[in-house]
Amino acid sequence: MTIDEITQPGTADNGIDIDFLRSARDMLTAQPEAAAFEWRVRNTWVNGTHSTSVCRDFHGLAAEQEHRSTFIFDTDHPEIFASADNGATPTEVVLAALAGCLTAGVAAVAQQRDIQLRSVSAEVVATSDVRGVLGIDPDIRNGFSRVDVTYAIDADATDDDIRALVAQSQKRSAVFDIVTNPTNVAVDVR
Amino acid sequence: MSTSGPRRSGPRRSGPGISAGDRRRHTTVVVIGAGHAGLAMSRCLTERSIDHVLLERGAVANSWRTERWDSLRLLTPNWQTRLPGHRYRGHDPDGYMTVPQVVDFLDTYAAAVDAPVETNTAVRSVRRHSDGFVVGTSEGDWRCRSVVVASGACNRAAVPDAAARLPGDIVSLTPLEYRRPDQLPDGGVLVAGGSATGIQLADEIHRSGRPVTLAVGGHVRVPRTYRGHDIMSWLDAVGILGERYDEVDDPERVRRLPSFQLVGSPERTTIDLNSLRALGVRVVGRVAGIADGTMQFSGSLRNQCALADLKLRRLLDTIDEWVDGCWLDGVPPPPPRPTPTVVDDDPLLTLRLGSGEIRSVIWATGYRPDLSWLHLPVFDRASRLRHDGGITDVPGLYLLGLPFLRRRKSTLIDGAGDDARELSAHLAATLAGASATHWTARGA
């Protein structure tokens, strides 16, 4: 332990319970089976390209868990594709998930490093060539050709310290990993 | 503890007509491995008059003789190549030893400390036996009260699962098998891994005329020299190399860190992703998988480079603050910070392996010890060694020469001395304690 840690107890408060996170980490180190989570989304077609996804229950810490309330996401396509535009496009939801995950990580890492955040905002811009999804050119992928996330962060820290928060958040982010690395996906019909 | 027992030096000589199974020998401590760590421990045990033997599968410094590429030199300067009671005394303290020089250095040390080495003796098993151990070897069994495992941290190359899906016509090598570029087929080479091994091999292979694609995940960027001194001198001076395992939050995390991007060369060259890129090496993200004959690279390259650049700047800041605090004279002022790592705007994410562009792959994705013969409960669920600074849960069983065993420098030759001194003290106390218990038990 350094002298700083002895004389300066954590003063930053970003609304993250860091003691809980540390104890959870210790608990899951000792009981890896409790770290096996299962995430569930139930999706139902409404009409046209509109569907709803419902998040209610999941499995984790060796037990069935439930959200405080049921969360519903509408996804649809915009009117320029002759759709009703009843929700964000699924691709935008992916970007929302990426930003949500990274921002949560920024707050958690800042708390761990005792950095007080005053404001955090991110702009996510993704480019894609829709000739891929329309099957016009087999050499063009369906997904994004590039994703740019730009953070604006006001905090009690140097520029490098703030950049380190954002870098560490990416290193620990589930959605960043999901977007940047391949995942086995099995889609079945019953 | 016993001070008797014959002292052996050099190759073991056994009488003819004795089968391996009949040779059951006793000593107080068996040290497995006669590399720098085992030899340092031998010297410490001799100082304490503890009878011991070193079991070596080949000759002294075996892995240096048989498992290193031709151009390799130590990453640490000669002055730092030191073991208990022995150090480099040549005219080039700032140079870096070649592999044959390392072998010479360790041969000389083995003779100087009169290490009782049993050569060509491969350990097959280590088991508990009454209040000690029985060590099964290719040359028969040894009984002992204590075992020090010093058989090396780099016995096996850690290769990702994806390697198994490489098409059969692409040559696949680990750094333990690689010697020199002309061993590879002409054409493109994919080097996976951005640690010292990966960047050194990428550099020399690309210079041989084989275009290299370097796949990089987490890496540690450091300059070879800074403000007129070797980076290792600075790490030593500011206390980073001496940092102990019980002083950091998560020693397991530090143990998994890749090695510094360094090369030991007479020109004291810095190799980093920028220098490789300037050379024409194509830098891509970590190998994320191989599917349908296509190699996939992670999209995290930009962040991996950002992390490495940030850590590099923090390290140089630490050095500068230390210099300022010491009022050191004659140190040149800080140069501008190294150029941030340049990442292509559009790094390659997939590569069709059937296109013929890549003819060989080298998996410089890390090393692991091979302890398949250690039949004792010292492994966790993930088959990693469980230990407290080299002291295991099995009384009398010690580990030495592993990354960040007790200090950051444990991974270096220079780290073996302090670790061996401390562990031999613990070992001696354990032996003395066990003897005292026996004495009391018998007396009662």
List of domains in chain A:
15-88 (3.30.300.20), 89-181 (3.30.300.20)
Tell me: do B309 and B342 sit in the same domain: yes
Burial degree of A97 (CB within 10 A; 0-12, 13-18, 19+): middle
Beta partners for residue B399, in sequence order? B149
- Cβ of A167 within 8 Å of Cβ of B298? The answer is no
Tell me: do B174 and B306 sit in the same domain: yes
Q: How far apart are CA B361 and CA B166, in angstroms?
A: 9
| Closest approach of B359 to chain A, Cα-based (Å) | 24
Burial degree of A107 (CB within 10 A; 0-12, 13-18, 19+): middle
Task: Decide if B42 is inside a domain.
Answer: yes
Tell me: do B373 and B357 sit in the same domain: no
The three state secondary structure string of chain B is: CCCCCCCCCCCCCCCCCCCHHHCEEECCEEEECCCHHHHHHHHHHHHCCCCEEEECCCCCCHHHHHCCCCCCECCCCHHHCEECCEECCCCCCCCCCEHHHHHHHHHHHHHHCCCCEECCCCEEEEEEECCEEEEEECCEEEEECEEEECCCCCCEECCCHHHHHCCCCCEEECCCCCCCHHHCCCCEEEEECCCHHHHHHHHHHHHCCCCEEEEECCCEECCCEECCEEHHHHHHHCCCCCCEHHHCCCHHHHHCCCCEECCCCCCCCCCCHHHHHHHCCEEEECEEEEECCEEEECCCHHHHHHHHHHHHHHHHHHHHHHHHHHCCCCCCCCCCCCCCCCCCCCCCCEEEHHHCCEEEEEECCCEECCCCCECCCCECCCCCECCECCECCCCCEEECCCCCCCEHHHHCHHHHHHHHHHHHHHHHHHHHHHHHHHHHHHHC
Task: Decide if B7 is inside a domain.
Answer: no
A160 interaction partners in chain B (CB closer than 8 Å): 310, 313-314
Judge whether B336 and B223 are in contact, CB under 8 Å: no
* CB-closest option in A163, A176, A182 to B288: A182
Q: Which of B366, B389, B404 is the last residue of a domain?
A: B366
On whether ipTM exceeds 0.90, the answer is no
Amino acid B3: pLDDT: 40
State which residues form the domain around B232: 166-366
Neighbours of B109 (CB within 10 A): 23
Task: Decide if B12 is inside a domain.
Answer: no
* β-strand pairing of B132-137 with B140-144: antiparallel
Tell me: do B264 and B335 sit in the same domain: yes
* CB-closest option in B218, B299, B310 to A160: B310
A146 interaction partners in chain B (CB closer than 8 Å): 346
Tell me: do B260 and B176 sit in the same domain: yes
pLDDT of A7 above 70 = no
Instruction: Catalogue the long-range contacts made by A3-7 (C-beta closer than 8 Å, 24 or more residues apart).
Output: none
Tell me: do B404 and B361 sit in the same domain: no
- Cβ of A182 within 8 Å of Cβ of B346? The answer is no
- Contact residues, B window 209-228, toward A, CB-based 8 Å cutoff: 218
Task: Decide if B282 is inside a domain.
Answer: yes
Tell me: do B326 and B294 sit in the same domain: yes
Tell me: do B342 and B396 sit in the same domain: no
Per-residue pLDDT of chain B (444 residues; tens, 9 = 90+): 344 444 444 444 444 434 444 567 999 999 999 999 999 999 999 999 999 999 999 999 999 999 999 999 999 999 999 999 999 999 999 999 999 999 999 999 999 999 999 999 999 999 999 889 999 999 999 999 999 999 999 999 999 999 999 999 999 999 999 999 999 999 999 999 999 999 999 999 999 999 999 999 999 999 999 999 999 999 999 999 999 999 998 898 899 999 999 999 999 999 999 999 999 999 999 999 998 899 999 999 999 999 999 999 999 999 999 999 987 788 999 999 999 999 999 999 999 999 999 999 999 999 999 999 999 999 988 888 999 999 999 999 999 999 999 999 999 999 999 999 999 999 999 999 876 654 444 333
- Cβ of B307 within 8 Å of Cβ of A171? The answer is yes
Tell me: do B83 and B54 sit in the same domain: yes
Domain count of the fold of chain B = 2
Q: Which of B330, B347, B366 is the last residue of a domain?
A: B366
